[in-house]
A and B are shown apart, each in its own frame.
Chain A
Amino acid sequence: MQGSIPILRIGKTLITTVHVELRDDVAQAFQSDVLATIEKTGASGLVMDISALDTVDTYVARILAETGRMAKLMGTTSVLVGMRPEVASTLVQMGYTMDGVLTALNLESGLRLLGQQLVTVAK
């Protein structure tokens, strides 16, 4: 599909980098792809990297937050990483909070956070 978002698997973790501006239909397809890939691979963790996005409106924010919550229902912990300062500022000003989604500054700290979360869950 044109503009689709690749999903990489490393061990039990899925990493997806949203590298293009998300059209509404692509955002919707992204959500379905991620959930289908979780089912197929049995991934225990999901990292969504949005550092390439310089604008995130409430539609895309909702898709991302929903994807995280859906993954959680399936038993997969997810972390949203790399939100740019101007995106964070815009979302908060609009009154949009990404409830129920773990966040980290960048991919590296996101993977670390995911590791900690999964250790806690395993205990």
Chain B
Amino acid sequence: MPVNVLQRHELKIDCEDDVVLVRRKVKAIAQERRFDTFAVAAVTTATSELTRNAWAHGGGGVAIVDVVTDGSRIGIQVAFRDQGPGIPDLARVFAGGYSTARSLGLGLSGSRRLVDEFSIDSETGRGTTITITKWKPF
């Protein structure tokens, strides 16, 4: 089913404080759209993990926060885009065996379990885009 974007916010990820700013924005939107407290915590926490990854591992980038609908549900979709080194071994990251100083592995594999849709597009040397979606019925 086609997804329509109802609202879009683009936030930069340039410094550590942006981790807080991006997650606050996502939390505010989730609350405004009346997601339940568990869903708010899930999407906010996933956002926190992925914003931190984009900043710490990807050298910063942007977070594009969309409110979307597929006709029967409303969703929060966030794309985290960086121009960092990319993730060379995705399978290993998701197996949870990848550990860095700031726990990239746990943040990525954990975030995936908190949302309904998760996609990752990473190319070595080009950067990484991770997109998450959390849905709720209208």
Contacts and interface: CB of A to CB of B under 8 A. Distances in A.
Interface of A: 21, 23-25, 54-59, 62, 84-87, 89-90, 93-96
Contacts of B106: 58, 94-96
Interface residues of B, number: 27
Majority SS at the chain B contact face: helix
A52 to B, nearest CB: 14
Given A24-B16, A59-B103, A87-B41, 7 more contacts: A25-B16, A54-B40, A55-B45, A55-B48, A93-B110, A95-B96, A95-B110
Contacts of B41: 54-55, 84, 86-87, 89-90
Contacts of A21: 20, 24
A23 to B, nearest CB: 5
Contact of B45 (A24, A25, A57, A62): A57
Contacts of B111: 94
B114 A58 contact: no
A51 to B, nearest CB: 14
B104 to A, nearest CB: 10
Interface string B90-128: 000000100000110011011101100000000000000
B77 interface: no
B17 interface: yes
A85 B36 CA distance: 12
B17 A23 contact: yes
A58 B49 contact: yes
